[in-house]
Amino acid sequence: MITYQQVTSDWQLQQILLLQQENLPKNLTAEAIKNQGFLTVEHTYEVLEEMNSECGHIIALENEKLVGYALCMHPKFAQSIEILKPMFREINAVVEGKKNYMVMGQVCVSKSHRGKGVFRGLYKAMKEKLPQGIDTIITEVDASNLRSIHAHEAVGFRELKRYLEDGREWVLIVLQ
């Protein structure tokens, strides 16, 4: 049975980082990148912990083993991760001063648990655990990551905007 909760320990943060490493392009084959999707950002423990202190990350556990996560990233972290600065610039351009949103900083499901509803469960738990007054989740996906785009559409995300940054096309998406 899979349970969903917010991160409560350093061990859980370390497990997020291990699963993240397994799904970065540098650790995947070209076939896996195309068929299974990939992660873009490699977080440090310190940033992950600081983000978790503001709003607890959501994790999926099966028998106490981490099988997925969705990172909560408050807009106050807009300058914390270099590769995400353009995303926040684009968000600010389309939300026009609206401050009641949370950025989903990264979502990942272990290979063994894909196609079993964990992705949907992570977002359901995230929506339930959002801080008071937050009513919108925004994130972006590399336009070449079709598996991720389709998975986000399936849980109700809609496209806000596409933009180019450093030769890559990004899709800014929103869930309300």
> What is the topology classification, in CATH, of domain 2-175?
Aminopeptidase (3.40.630)
Q: What is the pLDDT of residues 27-41, one digit of tens each?
A: 999 999 888 988 989
> Would you kindly state where each structural domain of the chain is located, as residue ranges?
2-175
Residue 31 burial (C-beta neighbours within 10 Å; 0-12, 13-18, 19+): exposed
Q: What is the pLDDT of residues 31-67, one digit of tens each?
A: 998 889 889 899 999 999 999 999 999 999 999 999 9
Closest to 145 in 3D by CA, of 33, 41, 42: 33
- Look at residue 75 and tell me whether its pLDDT is greater than 70: yes
For residue 120, the one-letter residue type is: R
Q: What is the pLDDT of residues 87-101, one digit of tens each?
A: 999 998 888 767 789
pLDDT at 176: 82
Residue 96: how many other CB atoms lie within 10 Å: 6
**How many whole angstroms separate alpha carbon 43 and alpha carbon 41?**
6
Q: What is the pLDDT of residues 117-171, one digit of tens each?
A: 999 999 999 999 988 889 899 999 999 999 899 999 999 999 999 999 989 999 9
**How many whole angstroms separate alpha carbon 66 and alpha carbon 82?**
27
Closest to 129 in 3D by CA, of 54, 75, 63: 54
Cross-sheet strand order for the sheet of 101-109: 2-6, 58-62, 65-73, 101-109, 136-142, 168-175, 158-165
**How many whole angstroms separate alpha carbon 49 and alpha carbon 115?**
28
